[in-house]
Each structure stands twice: as C-alpha cells, then as structure tokens.
C-alpha cells in the first residue's frame, strides 16, 4: 500500500514537472526588456555616435547608452528588447531611431532615454510577402516582383535572422534602415509603417549593406556593402544604382565623406579606396597594412580617422589620400579583447571614443 502511494506521488510529481516545463515561456530576446547593468559600458559596443551634445553607444543585450559628459559616464536607456542594437540616428534632439539584430527598429521621443519597438524581422517577411505579392499580381509583366516574393518567402522560413546595420533619418518623418541580405526599409511617417523597397535597389545578389555616407549633392548618398557592393542612392528619385567602377570585390564595412567632397571606403584586409569624382574613378589609399577597416569618422577639424578591428587607429590629414598609424593614449594590446576596435567617434578635447568587445574607451588623440 505504502509503495503504491509513493509511486502515485512520484507520478504526480513527474506530471507536475513536465506540465511546468510545457508551460515554460519561450525565451526570446525580442520579447524581453533590457536589464540595467553596471557592465553595459564595459561590454561589447557596436557603434558610437553623437547628436547635439549627447553621445550614444549601442551594444548587446538591448544596450543603448547615452552620455552627456563627453563619453566619460554613461546612462543606460530603457529598451524593450534584448537584441543587439547596432546603430542610432536622431534627426531632432528628441526624436530618434535605433536598429539592430532580429531586424529590430526602436523609436525614442525623449532624446534616447526610453525606447519603444516599431518593427522587427518577423514582420519583414510577412509584410514584405504581402506587399510584393500584391505588386506582382498587379504587374504580371514585371520580372522582378516574383523574385522578391521568393525572397520574402525565404525570409519567412528563416525567421528574424537579419540584422539592420544602419538607420538614417534625413528628416523626422522620412527614414531608411539598411541591413543584411540587401534588406532596405523605408518609412515616410516617422516609423509608423516600414516598407521594404528592394525593388528600387540594384542588388540582385542580395548582398549585405553595411554603411552609408552622403555625397556632396543634396539628397544623394552612397551605401557600401559586401563583395564590392556600392550603391549610389538618390532619395528624390527613389533609386539605388550599383556603382560598377569599384576596383576590388571585397567587402566595404565603412564609408566616410571627406571635407573636400571626396569619399573614402574601408574594408576587409585593411583595403581602402577613395574617390574625388563621386565614384567615377577610384584610387587605393596610401596606408600601412592593417587588419580589416571596420569604422571611420570625420573629425571637426577635417581629419579622417579609420580603425582596424585588430586595434589600429589610422589618421588622414589630406582628406583620405594617405593614412598613418597613430599611437593613441590608452590603447589596448593589439589583437586582444582589450585592443580590438569595433567603433570610433570623436570625443571632446582631442579624444576618441573607441568601442570594442570590452566596452567604451576614451583615448587621447595626438594633434
């Protein structure tokens, strides 16, 4: 009798645990808010940028940080997701957008202190499919739409696997988000609706788009990407055309506009190229060999700074014709987690803010 009771109790306990396990909520970073952490500014940072007087840095676990003292101390924003956040943009001091992994787009209307989710990658395939299916049905002669329908079906099968690398709002209503596998989203109502605009982008291979920089002409910019992809984008014409003059087929992770109207691109294996004629011709930048160039910025005094992922800091005083290695005060050991650089921004008073796997470092830059 006793034994039977024991067996029964065990069975009940088993049933209880297994039903508890079945009831378990699925762990998904898209559903979970970021948690305040003392380590946020000391762990992986993907991007650093400055809008007005406020600096922003983005990282893993839904980290969006802001600093009002030139990057010395950082506050952590309230963010509704735990995705890796890769970029922010603030067209006005109050209104800002952020983008990141899982195709997430966030919006802030209080200068970046609190954020709400506007979009995620699960919607990309679903809404994109409906959008392009409608277009394909309405335009049966168009050859591109069925391809895009296929791409969206593939996107649905993959789930929210695509990061958005950059987000840009030329005005407070009109914005773009650029990302992996050629993902380009556009909004004209401050992010209430995000619409894929792949049909206007000449990127048949669905290559990743990593960065963008404005051309001297208003309303135009370049977007650089994987395998030598460079797109000349015209906002007014709503078209992005592939630039065929690129002399090299490696990936360009970063592109920066020089003070003289030239453009400089950097990428894999430390390759850098520049153009003075809006992409008609390209020349190789004179520079020492470095690891892959992953970010660049233009300082207030017109110097250009490019960083190698291994920890090299390169400076150009001639609008990108040549770069030289500089020793920044407080640099870590090259090729170690203390030395890796993932992101760069100009700090106040001859400093650079460097982001990397160990967080944000404020280093001094020789004049």
Partner 1 sequence: MAHATQSDLPVIANLTEFDEQSGTFLEKLVFNHRGIVLALCVLVTLVLGYMATGIQLQAGFEKTLPKAHEYVLNYQANQNGLKGLGNNLRIVIAVKEGTIFTPDNLRYLEKVNDEVFFVPGVDRNGMKSLFTPNTRWRVVTEEGFEGGPVIPGDYDPDSPKSIAEIQLNMVRAGIIGDLVANDMKSMTIIVPLLDKDPETGERLDYAHLSDKLEEVRTRFAADDPDKTIHIVGFAKLVGALIDGLLAVMGFFAIAVVIATLLLYLYTRCIRSTLMVILVTLVAVTWQLGILAWLGYELDPFSILVPFLVFAIGVSHGAQKLNGVIQDIGRGTHRYIAARYTFRRLFLAGVTALLSDGVGFAVLMIIQIQVIQDLAITASIGVVVLIFTNLILIPVVLSYTGVGKKCVELASREVKSQEDMHVLWRFLLSFTKKGPAAAAIIVSVVLAVGGFYVRQDLAIGDLDPGAPELRPDSRYNRDVAFMIDNYSVSTDVFAVIVKTEENGCIDYEGLSMANELEWRMRQLEGVEDVGGLNIRTRQIMMGLNEGFPKWEALFRNQDTINYSVTELANLDYVDPGCSIWPMPIYLADHKAETLTQVVDTLEQFNEEWPSADIQFLGAAGSAGFEAATNIIVKKANTEMLFYVYGAVILLCLLTFRSVPGVICAVLPLMLTSILCEALMVWLGIGVKVATLPVIALGVGIGVDYALYVLTVILAKTREGKDLTTAYYETLNFTGRVVALIGVTLAAGVVTWSLSPIKFQADMGILLTFMFIWNMFGALILMPALAVFLIKPNKDAQPA
Radius of gyration for the chain, computed over Cα atoms and rounded to the nearest angstrom: 23
Q: Considering only the stretches 125-133, 153-161, 198-206, 278-286, report the one whose residues sit in contact with partner 1 under the rule CB under 8 A.
A: 153-161
Residues 261-320 contacting partner 1, CB under 8 A: 268-269, 291-292, 294, 309-310
Give the closest residue to 326 by CA, choosing from 287, 273, 274: 287
Structure-derived torsion over alpha carbons of residues 14, 18, 20, 23, reported in degrees to the nearest 10: -160
Query: Which C-beta is closer to partner 1: that of 94 or that of 335?
Result: 335
Q: Considering only the stretches 15-23, 104-112, 193-201, 232-240, report the one whose residues sit in contact with partner 1 under the rule CB under 8 A.
A: 15-23
List 41, 67, 76, 84, residue binding partner 1 (CB under 8 A):
84
How is the chain split among helix, strand and coil, in percent rounded to 5? 20, 35, 45
Least spacing, CB of residue 309 vs partner 1, in Å:
6
Residues 39-58 contacting partner 1, CB under 8 A: 39, 43-44, 46-47
Q: Considering only the stretches 82-90, 168-176, 192-200, 238-246, report the one whose residues sit in contact with partner 1 under the rule CB under 8 A.
A: 82-90
- Helix 121-138 to helix 144-158 angle (10° resolution) is 160
Structure-derived torsion over alpha carbons of residues 193, 174, 225, 343, reported in degrees to the nearest 10: -100
List 33, 52, 93, 159, residue binding partner 1 (CB under 8 A):
159
With beta carbons less than 8 A apart as the criterion, state whether 223 and 231 touch.
yes
Q: Which residues contact 199 (CB under 8 A, 6 or more apart)?
A: 132, 135, 144, 145, 148
With beta carbons less than 8 A apart as the criterion, state whether 353 and 345 touch.
yes
Is residue 60 near partner 1 by the rule CB under 8 A?
Answer: yes
With beta carbons less than 8 A apart as the criterion, state whether 273 and 285 touch.
yes
Is residue 28 near partner 1 by the rule CB under 8 A?
Answer: yes
Alpha helices by DSSP H, listed for the chain, are 2-23, 121-138, 144-158
Give the closest residue to 305 by CA, choosing from 274, 346, 347: 346
Count of residues touching partner 1 (by CB under 8 A):
54
Residues 120-149 contacting partner 1, CB under 8 A: none
Is residue 334 near partner 1 by the rule CB under 8 A?
Answer: yes
CA 77 – CA 112 distance, rounded (Å) = 7
Is residue 327 near partner 1 by the rule CB under 8 A?
Answer: no
Is residue 210 near partner 1 by the rule CB under 8 A?
Answer: yes
Query: Which C-beta is closer to partner 1: that of 161 or that of 350?
Result: 161
Residues that bind partner 1 (CB under 8 A): 18, 20-22, 24, 26-29, 37-39, 43-44, 46-47, 60-61, 82, 84, 86, 101-102, 158-163, 165, 208, 210, 226-227, 248-251, 253, 268-269, 291-292, 294, 309-310, 333-336, 340, 342-343, 357
């Amino acid at each position: 009798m006793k034994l039977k009771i024991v067996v029964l109790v065990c069975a009940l306990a088993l049933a209880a645990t297994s039903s508890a396990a079945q009831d378990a909520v699925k762990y998904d970073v898209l559903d979970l808010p970021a948690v305040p952490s003392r380590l946020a500014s000391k762990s992986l940072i993907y991007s650093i940028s400055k809008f007005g007087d406020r600096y922003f840095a983005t990282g893993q676990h839904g980290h969006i940080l802001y600093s009002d003292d030139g990057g010395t101390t950082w506050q952590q924003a309230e963010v509704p997701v735990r995705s890796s956040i890769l970029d922010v943009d603030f067209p006005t001091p109050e209104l800002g957008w952020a983008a990141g992994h899982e195709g997430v787009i966030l919006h802030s209307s209080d200068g970046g202190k609190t954020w709400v989710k506007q979009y995620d990658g699960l919607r990309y395939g679903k809404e994109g499919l409906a959008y392009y299916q409608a277009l394909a049905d309405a335009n049966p002669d168009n050859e591109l739409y069925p391809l895009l329908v296929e791409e969206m079906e593939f996107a649905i099968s993959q789930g929210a696997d695509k990061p958005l690398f950059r987000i840009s709002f030329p005005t407070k209503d009109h914005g773009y988000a650029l990302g992996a596998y050629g993902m380009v989203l556009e909004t004209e109502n401050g992010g209430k609706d995000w619409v894929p605009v792949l049909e206007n982008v000449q990127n048949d291979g669905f290559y990743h788009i990593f960065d963008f920089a404005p051309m001297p002409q208003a309303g135009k910019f370049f977007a650089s990407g994987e395998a030598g992809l460079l797109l000349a984008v015209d906002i007014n014409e709503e078209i992005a055309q592939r630039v065929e003059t690129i002399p090299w087929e490696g990936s360009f992770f970063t592109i920066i506009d020089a003070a003289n109207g030239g453009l400089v691109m950097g990428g894999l294996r430390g390759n850098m190229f520049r153009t003075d004629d809006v992409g008609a011709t390209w020349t190789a930048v004179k520079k020492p060999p470095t690891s892959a160039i992953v970010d660049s910025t233009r300082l207030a005094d017109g110097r250009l700074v490019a960083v190698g992922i291994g920890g090299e800091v390169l400076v150009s005083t001639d609008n990108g014709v040549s770069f030289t290695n500089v020793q920044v005060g407080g640099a870590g050991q090259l090729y170690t987690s203390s030395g890796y650089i993932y992101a760069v921004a100009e700090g106040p008073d001859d400093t650079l803010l460097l982001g990397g796997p160990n967080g944000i470092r404020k280093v001094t830059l020789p004049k």
